[in-house]
Structure 1
Amino acid sequence: MIFLVPAILLWAVALWRAPAAMRDKRKRPLSSAFIALAIAMTIKPVDIASALDDALGVHNSQLSASTWLESWPPIRS
């Protein structure tokens, strides 16, 4: 629920800016940024992200900060 409100607001702004972006190419980068943020907030919830991972066969391979810090500095042979 906490991600629902920002996602709805970002989609509203993206849709609101779309006609202006179609008319003036100088406004397209900002509109594209809002669309990208709206997509990111839409797939951010764990249930949706997990379903996408399972459907696509690609699993989130990000390392947590603690795992990364534990392996620092890299071992050189």
Structure 2
Amino acid sequence: MRLKKWMLLVGYMCLFLGFGYSCYSIFVDETGSNFWVMWGIASLVMGYQVINFLVEKKNDKWNNSYVVADQRVFRKILV
């Protein structure tokens, strides 16, 4: 599967915002659940992924380069 790098960044940002919204909505809900901590940690991890992606790809072209996830690559790594 080939994805443009900006598409991967948009996916990371959507996950970051989704996890952050889930964390906040569970935190505001006054049922006494501590499940918001897990969503907060997931949101922080996705925020780290976004920042790390931006730092690594700072000098790359956004529209010409691809992130390739192909089964042939995984087979070579496993062998």
Q: TM-score, normalised by structure 2?
A: 0.48
Higher relative contact order (CA 8 A, sep 6+): 2
- Bigger helix share: 1
More strand by share: 2
> Greater Rg, structure 1 or structure 2?
1
